[in-house]
């Protein structure tokens, strides 16, 4: 795998941004609303927003 390939860099960047978002989302939710961590809606919202963030970060990286 070549690390100077723009697509690989875009995927690594999108993965790092999404991972940081998921960690902060879970951490802040556990502090502000600890009862919401057990619901299906919490994980659905986390999956939907994480997927959208990954896609937006990947496609806004400017690869051609």
**Domain residue spans in the chain?**
38-64
* pLDDT value of residue 1: 60
How far apart (Å, rounded) are the C-alpha atoms in residues 27 and 9?
A: 27
Residues of the chain with pLDDT under 70: 1-3, 64
* pLDDT value of residue 2: 62
* CB 56, CB 9: distance < 8 Å: no
């Amino acid at each position: 795998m070549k690390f100077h390939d723009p697509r690989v860099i875009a995927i690594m960047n999108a993965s790092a941004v999404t991972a940081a978002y998921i960690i902060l989302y879970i951490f802040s939710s556990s502090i502000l609303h600890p009862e919401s961590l057990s619901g299906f809606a919490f994980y659905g919202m986390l999956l939907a927003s994480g997927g959208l963030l990954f896609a937006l970060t990947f496609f806004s990286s400017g690869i051609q």
